[in-house]
Amino acid sequence: MNGEELFSRVVTTIQEMHLKIGDSYGSVSLYYPYEGDVSIADGFRRAASDFPDMVLERLPQRLRVTVSEKDCARISAMPVKETIRDMVHITKGRADIDTVREFICGRYPESRMVRSGYIDFDWILTFPEGLDDDVYCLSEELGQVTYHRFSREEYLALGFEIPERSQHVQKYGQHADVDQVHEDSSDEGHQEVCDRGGSVLRYQCLDVGDGVGGGAHTETHRTGHQR
């Protein structure tokens, strides 16, 4: 991560917070894992030149960026990345995983959504390179989906690995709560997907090779508040 990338992370995080919970009251401190050299500070200051009150501090194994309430308001008024806006919109509506999957596949046909092999989250979602390079880790509890968004670098720094073979699952019949995927050699380009009830549904599956990349955990604190 360089200084420009760090500034971009700060901007998208502040915007995402605003979409989720509204206006910020007090300054916001964001924490990012980092073990690189001090040169990141120069790049960050150049990228954040329009925000002179934004403060970057080097802490043991991480960085802290403090954004004032005024700057939070300015950043929140800037254009927001479409994928972030859509993810906040669909999850704020208390959607279940099938609804989220249908919505994302419909709007972003080249997106990749695969089951997670970790207990930390249930699904891993990525968008086409260049559109949104972050990794979205989705969890479903009581029929409602929540997510955490990580940069690829952050994702790897947390110890998560890129799946050896990931698949983009696009609705071909009905959606199923997928437990197992069996190869179907009789119909190239498709697979049989078994739901928990044992019935077989049909999905179009595209082998996308190594698929998902890294991303990261950021802690966000407000002055006088913590979340």
Among candidates 160, 165, 162, which has minimal Cα distance to 181?
A: 165
Q: Please provide the size of the chain in residues.
A: 227
d(CA 74, CA 111): 31
Give the pLDDT of residue 129.
Answer: 83
Task: Please list the residues that pair with 37 across neighbouring strands.
Answer: none
pLDDT digits (tens), the chain, 227 positions: 899 999 999 999 999 999 999 987 899 999 988 888 888 999 999 999 999 999 999 999 899 999 999 999 999 999 999 999 999 999 999 999 999 999 999 999 999 898 998 999 999 999 988 899 999 999 999 999 999 999 988 888 888 876 554 344 444 333 333 333 333 333 333 332 323 333 222 233 232 223 333 333 333 444 333 33
Element (H, E) at 164: none
Are the beta carbons of 13 and 30 closer than 8 angstroms? yes
**What pLDDT score does 161 carry?**
74
Kindly state the tokens that stand for 119.
């207990």
Dump pLDDT digits (tens) for 101-135: 999 999 999 998 989 989 999 999 999 888 999 99
Q: Which residue from 182, 201, 15, 174 is spatially nearest to 101, judged by alpha carbons?
A: 174
Alpha carbon of 38 to those of 2, 29, 35, 47, 147: distances in Å? Answer: 10, 19, 9, 15, 31
Question: So what's the pLDDT on residue 103?
Answer: 95
Strand partners, 192: 182, 202
| Local structure of 67: helix, strand or coil | strand
Among the residues of 97-194, which ranges form H helices?
Answer: 97-107, 152-157
